Structure 1
């Protein structure tokens, strides 16, 4: 019976991974759709679409799936019409939360997000009720082996970046939102395609959580991220090492 249980556990885990992958694909396809309709269907001529294609590669989306999504979005009247939405509120322990989404039904998405906050110990606020506690940045990352720390720092400064940080995980270049595409393109010309390139919300201050509060906050984040209309969730919490270890056990 132990073998059977182990097999079921593996199958369950694989099923969960497949479901997560499908959800990631769906979210990236929405971004590709919006980006392709907003500008040219050629990634080389459309910075937002180029970023979306890079996001597709990050989640290992097949090239033909990306091409089909661009083609469908570029067709006259084809597919759904998505609009960008943003929600802000507070989760458990006073953690500030920003939710970004793409939806074809604002009422449905707003209702779902509000219900998630209410059910999991939070409250949805007005627009800009918590975003002042975050900084909006462009973030470009590269693997460690593409350049030395000095080379990346020099390239970042020349490109107009605000900061370059090199750690064991790799190089991270941050810049103002309005210069994001210029910085990314300058770095790409010098070092090739980045590992990731996106706009991000970075908290100015963080709330340190114990294990109980962390579980509550992470449950809210998980529920929000499960929503098909939600593209990304940002929150200003920090987990001490012992809490992170307890949660991953």
Structure 2
């Protein structure tokens, strides 16, 4: 366990503004439905579904909407979503991994390619950038869960592999096959997490200047505005001074 690493958040940016609320709910609903179809429609018996329900609650999704999304998994008239991953590069040579849930691969591929190319990036072949990331489990907690020492000790006891704590919160990293066991072990100590999911952790980071950061954030926002895009992972590092100047700090 590496301890109190200085590793910065891997930049999965999800719009929290009111105007993106409907898009966010659509993404959360899809994940719940797909998770429910992948196993039992019971969050206590289906680890992926439990994580999806936790994320939906933290995102402010009403309880009725959550249950409706679970029920859709057993309905014959519901859409069948498949998971498709795209890889490519953004401004400044930043590596991008774009995870989608889609019922129309042609539409999604066109929309993703357009968003990337219009904002200074380009898509590559499958595997073109994922070799520079580690597939791991990621459990997120707000800063209110406790100080860095408390979270580190809890994570160590639970069997996690690494912890990153900042003023904004805590990221606890696990092996992929240990994600939900570690998350369950943490709850009695730290409470329910903000999220627990499989993630892509970059092995190295690319520092981007103000110009590239501006364009990169536009690219990620364009992807986030697409209902089919679930998560965008990237390996960028933006200096604090630039983040403050761009109003992203």
Give me the TM-score of the superposition, normalised by structure 2. 0.87
**How far 1:144 sits from its partner (Å)?**
4.2
Give the match for residue 203 of structure 2: 204
1:178 aligned onto 2:187: no
1:235 aligned onto 2:213: no
Correspondences of 1:209-220 after superposition (within 5 Å):
209-220=208-219
Give the match for residue 102 of structure 2: 103
Partners in 2 of 1:30 and 1:209 — Cα distance?
Answer: 33
Gaps of 5+ in 2: 1-15
Partners in 2 of 1:91 and 1:145 — Cα distance?
Answer: 34
Matched residue of 1:141: which SS? Answer: strand
Matched residue of 2:78: which SS? Answer: coil
**RCO higher in structure (CA 8 A, sep ≥6):** 2
Partners in 1 of 2:116 and 2:239 — Cα distance?
Answer: 24
**How far 1:53 sits from its partner (Å)?**
0.2
Give the match for residue 131 of structure 2: 132
1:225 aligned onto 2:224: yes
**How far 1:158 sits from its partner (Å)?**
2.8
The superposition leaves residues 16-52 of structure 1 with CA deviations (integer Å, 9 ceiling, x where unpaired) of 9333011000000000010011111110000000000
Partners in 1 of 2:31 and 2:66 — Cα distance?
Answer: 11
1:51 aligned onto 2:48: no
The superposition leaves residues 180-203 of structure 1 with CA deviations (integer Å, 9 ceiling, x where unpaired) of 111111112443312322222222
> Which stretch shows the higher mean deviation, 205-214 or 37-46?
205-214
Give the match for residue 122 of structure 1: 121
The superposition leaves residues 1-23 of structure 1 with CA deviations (integer Å, 9 ceiling, x where unpaired) of xxxxxxxxxxxxxxx93330110
Which has the larger share of helix? Answer: 1
1:159 aligned onto 2:158: yes
- Label 1:122 to 1:79 Cα distance change in 2 as closer, same or farther (>3 A): same
Partners in 2 of 1:171 and 1:224 — Cα distance?
Answer: 25
Give the match for residue 23 of structure 2: 23
**How far 1:170 sits from its partner (Å)?**
3.5
Partners in 1 of 2:244 and 2:145 — Cα distance?
Answer: 31
Aligned residues: 233
> Which stretch shows the higher mean deviation, 104-113 or 167-176?
167-176
Gaps of 5+ in 1: 1-15
1:93 aligned onto 2:92: yes
> Which stretch shows the higher mean deviation, 174-183 or 108-117?
108-117
Contact 2:55 / 2:194 at 8 angstroms: preserved in 1? no
**How far 1:151 sits from its partner (Å)?**
4.2
Partners in 1 of 2:155 and 2:74 — Cα distance?
Answer: 34
Q: Which has the larger radius of gyration?
A: 1
**How far 1:109 sits from its partner (Å)?**
0.7
> Which stretch shows the higher mean deviation, 198-207 or 224-233?
198-207
